[in-house]
Amino acid sequence: MTAFAFIAATVFGTVARDTAKDRVLYGLKVFAEFMVIGLALGWVLYFLPF
């Protein structure tokens, strides 16, 4: 999941913004979102019995 988040965030950050600083910040934001949402969903699904 971390590798997937890193690769996807790298591409998203590279194509989505205009300045280098914005790209890095956006990439970090996307990476954090992938990780947090992935972990949160993992715990939610863990408690579902079906």
Partner 1 sequence: MTQNEIGPGIQAWIMGTAGWIIPGAGHMLQGKWLRGIILGAAVWICFVAGLSMGGHLFSVSGGDTSLSTLLQVPPTIANLGSGILYLVCWFLGFGFADDPTHAALATYEYGNTFLLIAGLLNYLAMLDAFDISAGRKP
Residues at the site binding partner 1, with contacts judged by CB under 8 A = 3-4, 7-8, 10-12, 14-15, 18
* Cβ neighbours of 31 (radius 10 Å): 19
CB 30 to partner 1: min, Å: 12
10 CB-contact burial (10 Å; exposed 0-12 / middle 13-18 / buried 19+): middle
Give least dist CB 13 to partner 1, A: 9
| Residue 14 vs 36, nearer CB to partner 1 | 14
Which has the closest alpha carbon to 12: 22, 1, 23, 21?
A: 23
Complex with partner 1: residue 11 or 32, whichever CB lies closer: 11
